[in-house]
């Protein structure tokens, strides 16, 4: 079933010049690029996006990181795109993410882990309307 998912290529990836490498992987997989935007977000947008993490001890650091510079927000579409993209991204902790995944190949950090993707149809719906309201 065709699905849409929200992907963030995070500030660490932009700063390291990895946008092209990461985007190329999604394109080679034959996912459809529906929307793409380079943005720098503020604390309010971070709080809205990461609503479920607001009370976590790591959240202040995560907010500082995600607002630290430009990121690239994408909407990708394809058959089971939500799970497909999460597999491609790899485990949250890049140190243990499988080789072949974006995090496994390109990062060694749990917090600065290059990419974010929606983790369920419910979060995809919420995140897509938050980041790209005109598509909803």
- Binding residues for ligand CMP (CB under 6 A): 53, 58, 62, 92, 110-111, 113, 116
User: What span, in angstroms and rounded, lies between the C-alpha atoms of 134 and 96?
Assistant: 37
Closest CA to 113 of 13, 5, 41, 28: 13
Minimum Å distance from CB 136 to ligand CMP? 21
* Cβ closest to ligand CMP, residue 125 vs residue 134: 125
Residue 49 annotated among the catalytic residues of the structure: no
| Residue pair 76/15 in contact by the 8 Å Cβ criterion | no
User: What span, in angstroms and rounded, lies between the C-alpha atoms of 84 and 93?
Assistant: 18
Minimum Å distance from CB 21 to ligand CMP? 18
* Cβ closest to ligand CMP, residue 39 vs residue 134: 39
Minimum Å distance from CB 100 to ligand CMP? 18
Per-residue tokens: 105: 């190949």
Q: Active-site residue numbers?
A: 116
């Amino acid at each position: 079933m065709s699905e849409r998912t929200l992907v963030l290529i995070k500030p660490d990836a932009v700063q390291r010049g990895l946008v092209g490498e990461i985007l190329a992987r999604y394109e080679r997989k034959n996912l459809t690029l529906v929307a793409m935007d380079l943005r720098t977000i503020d604390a309010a947008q971070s709080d809205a996006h990461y609503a479920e993490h607001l009370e976590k001890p790591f959240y202040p650091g995560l907010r500082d990181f995600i607002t630290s510079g430009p990121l690239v927000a994408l909407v990708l579409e394809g058959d089971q795109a939500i799970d497909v993209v999460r597999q491609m991204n790899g485990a949250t902790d890049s140190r243990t993410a499988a080789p072949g995944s974006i995090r496994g190949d390109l990062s060694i950090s749990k917090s600065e882990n290059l990419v974010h993707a929606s983790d369920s149809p419910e979060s995809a719906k919420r995140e897509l309307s938050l980041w790209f309201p005109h598509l909803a």
